Structure 1
Amino acid sequence: MANALNWFEIPVSDFRRAQAFYEAILGTKIERMDMGPTVMGMFPADQASVGGAIVFDGSSQPSANGTVVYLNAGADLAPILGRVEAAGGRIVVPKTEIGNDFGFFAHFLDSEGNKVGLHSMA
C-alpha cells in the first residue's frame, strides 16, 4: 500500500460557490464532471497521486466536525491560507508548526462550512 489515502470527497451544498472558492484559494481549475444526479469537481491529480473532488448530490452535508482532509499546499501554505477569507472561507487554525520536522498545518472552514486542512513543509 503506497498511500493510506487514495481518494477523498468534500461534500458541498452549492457546487458553483464551492468550485469558485477552491479555484480562488488554490489558483487552479476545478473540472466539473456530471455523473447522473451527482456533480463532482475534480481536484488536479495525475495517475500516480491521490485524487479527490468536491461533491454535490443533494444529500451530502458539509461539516466542521467530521474527518479532516489535508490538501497539499506546496512549498508554503501561507499564500493559499491568505486567500481563504477573500474567497468566502474562514481561518480556524492559523499556520502552525507541527514540530519534529513534520512541517506546518492550518485549518479553515470552506465556503460550505467544511473544516479542511492545509499542509506544507515550510
Structure 2
Amino acid sequence: MTKYSFLQPYTFENKNITLKNRVVIPPMTERMSFEDGTVTSDEIAYYAQHTGGAGMYITAVSNVNSLGKGFEGELSIADDRFLPGLSDLASSIKKNGTKAIIQIFSAGRMSSTAI
C-alpha cells in the first residue's frame, strides 16, 4: 500500500509550529462578512464545516484598512472592534487541530469609492 507523506505531520524548520498534515485549504472568497467587515455567524459556520481534516486553513482576504476594502462582504482586520468575531472565526477553524491563517489584503488603487 502506498504511504502518502502529505498525510504525515509537518514542522516548519524555523518555527515551533507543527501541522497535523500537509493538507492546506487555500483562500477562497466567500463574501459572507457584514458590510463593515464584521464576521457573521454564517461565515463561522462555513469555516467550521470545511475545517477539521486539513492541517492549515487560509481565510479569504481581510482588508487591513477601510481604504483598502475591495468588495462588499470582505472580512476586515482594520480595527480592534473586529477581534471578537475574528477570535470566534479562528476558534471554529482550529476546533480539530487545524491551524488558522488569515490572509491580509489591501485593494489599494483598485478599490472603489462606491464600496
TM-score norm. by structure 2 comes to 0.24
Query: Larger strand proportion, structure 1 or 2?
Result: 1
Q: Which has a greater percent of helix?
A: 2
